[in-house]
Chains A and B, each alone.
Chain A
Amino acid sequence: MFSSIPDVIERFARRHYICNRNIATVVYLASRLQKPILVEGPAGVGKTELAKVLAGALDRELIRLQCYEGLDESKALYEWEYAKQLLYTQILKDKIGEVIAGAPSLKEAVERVAAQDDVFFSERFIVPRPLLRAITAPAPVVLLIDEIDKADTEFEAFLLEVLSDFQVSVPELGTIKAKHVPLVVLTSNNAREMSDALKRRCLHLYIDFPDPEQERAIILLKVPGVAERLAREVAEVVQAIRKLDLKKAPSISETLDWTRALTLLNLDTLDAGLVDDTFSAILKYEGDIRKAQAEIKEHVAKARAAALAAPAGAPDANVRH
């Protein structure tokens, strides 16, 4: 359990996750109030990562439920293993014969079988899915319900019971209550608006793209061996590109991919020629790339002018003596 908000920031930082005060506050509150967190924001800002790091920081198991259209209870909660049940009936045929042996009437035989039927509807024949696993786990866990906006509204309604009471009902077995309340993180890309009922039960966290300073820090942390100057330039260019009207704005993970690519190519600064070739790492549409090219050329020119204007600056790493 976290002891304070700075504690959250520190433990996250140890796991290479830079979070601002806002994120830390919500995480702290969620762990203290035992409320789920609903994380929204553009794709690729580290929503899923947040849950993973959270599990790591608290030293808990992470159970993940990936949502998609058509996800239903049998995929999320539990399922009866029909085939196994049928097989067992077959294998145990003789045993069943023994049970009903000597029954004076058909009715009596049915009664005897019925007396045994909870054998077949026991936990042995249940396949637990993520939700049930999270609830019945022997130690507290972090439950990640990823991309909840992709699931149907019916599933969302079903989730309400789980999230507010942390219990599920299996008709054949009764209600199963959580031994430990799991810490729940729901992520959404805003493909549709979540219902108010769900939102009411959650703490809300909106993660946006980081500011240039933060992005630079993330790059330095996540890409080993990156040049300080390159990190700054990449952060600036990516921020500028995000302001353009693009089909898909580059996310943090794409920024990192790009930086890794540039570092592999042994670059310490953004060189216009190679930038064009590596652009596909951050932009995934032809139209977007064309739009961004003009922007980046301008930026490179500006950066170069700035470097020239500062004569006392560090020696240009590109020039080999």
Chain B
Amino acid sequence: MDETVIGFVGLLRRNGVRVSIAESMDTFHALDLVGLGTRAAVKDTLRATLVKRGADLPAYDRLFDLYFSGIGEIVKDAESRSRAALDLDPAEYQELIEALARFLEEQGIELSELARALLRQDSARLERLLRDAAKQAGVQRIERPFQEGQFAQGMQEALGVGGAARELQLIGDALGAGDPDPRRQRLSRFVERRLQELQEMIRRLIRGELEQRDLGQRDAARVQQLAEKSFYYLSEDEIRRMKEAVAKLAQRLKNVLAVKRRSARRGKFDVKDTLRKNLQYGGVPFKIRFDRRKRVKPQIVVLCDVSDSVRNVSRFMLQLVYSLQDLYSKVRSFIFVSDIGEITKLFEEHEIHQAIDQAIRGNVINVYAHSDFGRAFRTFHREHLAAITRHTTVIVLGDARNNYNLPHEWALREIKQRAKQLIWLNPESRMTWGFGDSEMDRYQPYCDVVEECRNLNQLYRVVDRIVVG
């Protein structure tokens, strides 16, 4: 059993479930206590000691079933299939097996271990034979589907399927293939069927092994953390999960800040000041002093590029900013492609995801135009410059791919001069800035901070800095 559990731990690790040595030791202590009585108890015990993340539970369940029931299940399935093929109920089936055993005895036919296990329906022995053969043929080394045939061959050799097939053939002959007696007919059909099932069992065993391997690779790919995944490559499903993740991050950020603000408002207990102030009462602490400092909530103006290339990032940025609204004294959001439009009102009137959908689907501005940062900045400068005061943090989100239009960096410069700070978030990798139609190099001098913002972790870090700093 020890070896089996260790093997299972290895399988879990290959599938991205982190299991430490301390944990596998716990497992053995726990198994000592619970015992190996029932399958369910063992499953619960291993789950409690080995799997510590809710997200790993589905993988664990599948792997446990694959690993611990594999061969037993296969053998049992084969039996019920043979029975179904002959259209018999369990009692009749048992009778048939006994009739065959009697016949073999009468005829004085000696069988190999494999053939006997097959015909007697000796599940335990069959299981052991299959397991040994699988080990001998090295089935656990299988990696690709096309190797199935090769390993099946190996297992057949290890089991001695050829010999068993010949024996069964002989029995079939002895039963007389052409005999009209229906009972004889049935016996020979049974013998034939069992041989087919043997092949099927081997195939299923190998496929099960392959599946364990396969599962490993699939899950390993998924383990690549959502938070580290570039916004460009998100699937539908991931976008949905990402929305939840953003909401959680926002909540956390909010809580952390709320605590900071609370303690800043009330202040920490100030020992020095308390002692000094209470000297006038003869050092008796009548008045407790706290350390207080004042903080101003930042104002925010967000300019989001919503052209096709950066739409996902814009979506999460807007979501995050709006989830954090009460941390700022004022938030105004604009979206642009080539025109620029304000969406602050839209957000006030609609539920957040609905509002974002409307905004980036083109209800506010034409989103199918070619990006023109220069024009957008110029328009903003002309119409909305009053939105910016010396308490304002301006966040621009875009890839600065300007389709070779005029960049009009002077507009950005003047925006910056009025604002407290200007932050540019670029969802493209830093390496590609300034190449092709990217105007990042021209805009960069007028920004206080320029950050790459390609995944959730980066987005979080940036927002954290804006709010805290």
Contacts and interface: CB of A to CB of B under 8 A. Distances in A.
Interface of A: 5, 21-22, 25-26, 28-29, 32-33, 35, 38, 40-41, 69-70, 82-83, 86-87, 89-90, 150, 152, 190-194, 196, 199-200, 202-206, 287
Contacts of A203: 26, 48-49
Contacts of A5: 34, 41
Interface in B249-266: 251-252, 255-256, 258-259, 262-263
Interface in B236-282: 248, 251-252, 255-256, 258-259, 262-263, 269, 271, 282
Given A25-B34, A83-B285, 13 more contacts: A22-B48, A28-B34, A29-B45, A33-B30, A40-B54, A86-B285, A87-B284, A90-B283, A196-B18, A199-B52, A199-B53, A204-B51, A204-B52
B47 interface: yes
B192 interface: no
Instruction: Decide if the interface of chain A is mainly helix, strand, loop or mixed.
Output: helix
A35 B41 contact: no
Contacts of B51: 204
Contacts, number: 86
Interface in B50-92: 51-54, 57
A26 B50 CA distance: 12
**Which of A25, A32, A202 is most buried by chain B, counting CB atoms within 10 A of its CB?**
A25
A21 B48 CA distance: 12
A206 B57 CA distance: 9
Nearest to A91: B284
Given A83-B285, A206-B54, A69 B255 contact: yes
A21 B40 contact: yes
Contacts of A28: 33-34
Contacts of B444: none
A194 to B, nearest CB: 8
Nearest to A190: B54
A200 B22 contact: yes
B48 A204 contact: yes
Contacts of B251: 191
Nearest to A71: B259
A69 B251 CA distance: 11
B48 A29 contact: yes
**Which 4 residue pairs of A and B lie closest in terms of their CB atoms, listed nearest first?**
A199-B52, A70-B259, A25-B44, A26-B48
Contacts of B2: none
B269 A82 contact: yes
A25 B252 contact: no
B13 interface: no
Nearest to A40: B54
**Which of B18, B34, B51, B351 is most buried by chain A, counting CB atoms within 10 A of its CB?**
B34
Contacts of A89: 283
B23 interface: yes
28 contacts: A21-B40, A21-B44, A25-B34, A26-B44, A28-B33, A29-B48, A29-B49, A33-B30, A33-B33, A40-B54, A70-B259, A70-B263, A87-B285, A152-B256, A190-B54, A191-B252, A192-B252, A196-B52, A199-B52, A200-B20, A200-B52, A203-B26, A204-B47, A204-B51, A204-B53, A205-B48, A206-B57, A287-B351
A193 B53 CA distance: 8
A247 to B, nearest CB: 10
Nearest to A35: B26
A152 B29 CA distance: 32
A36 B22 CA distance: 14
A191 B248 CA distance: 7
B403 to A, nearest CB: 39
Contacts of B29: 33
A191 B284 CA distance: 45
A202 B41 CA distance: 19
A190 B47 CA distance: 18
**Which of A28, A82, A204 is most buried by chain B, counting CB atoms within 10 A of its CB?**
A204
Contacts of B33: 28-29, 32-33
